[in-house]
Amino acid sequence: MGKRLLAVLLLLALALCTGAAAKAKGAPGVLLVIDAEARTLALCVDGERAALYPCAVGAPDTPTPLGVFTVSEKHTGWGGGFGAHFLRLSVPWGVYGIHGTNAPASVGLAVSHGCVRLRNADIEALFDKVPLGSRVLIERGPYGPLGSALRTLSPGDTGSDVAEVQARLIRKGYLLGEPDGRFGPYTRAAVRAFRRECGLPDGDAVDAAVYAALGVLLFE
pLDDT in tens, 119-157: 999 999 999 999 999 999 999 877 788 887 888 999 999
pLDDT at 109 over 60: yes
Give a yes or no: residue 176 inside a domain.
Answer: yes
**Residue where one domain finishes, among candidates 129, 145, 161:** 145
- Whether the model pTM is above 0.85: no
**Residue where one domain finishes, among candidates 120, 145, 170:** 145
Say whether 75 is catalytic. Answer: no
For the chain, give the mean pLDDT. 86
**What is the rounded distance in angstroms from the CA atom of residue 137 to the CA atom of residue 139?**
7
Give a yes or no: residue 115 inside a domain.
Answer: yes
Provide the residue range defining the domain that includes 183. 150-214
Domain count, the chain: 2
**What is the rounded distance in angstroms from the CA atom of residue 219 to the CA atom of residue 192?**
27
Query: At 173, which amino acid appears?
Result: G
Given the residues 44, 99, 113, 198, the one annotated as active site? 99
Taking alpha carbons only, the member of 217, 32, 34, 31 closest to residue 140 is: 34
Residues 161 and 140 occupy one common structural domain: no
Say whether 115 is catalytic. Answer: yes
Residues 111 and 206 occupy one common structural domain: no
Q: What is the pLDDT of residue 19?
A: 41
The CATH number that applies at residue 115 is 2.40.440.10
Given the residues 44, 55, 115, 198, the one annotated as active site? 115
Give a yes or no: residue 88 inside a domain.
Answer: yes
Strand partners, 70: 135
Residues 104 and 163 occupy one common structural domain: no
**Residue where one domain finishes, among candidates 145, 166, 188:** 145
Q: What is the pLDDT of residue 23?
A: 38
Q: Give the residue with greater pLDDT, 6 vs 63.
A: 63
Give a yes or no: residue 220 inside a domain.
Answer: no
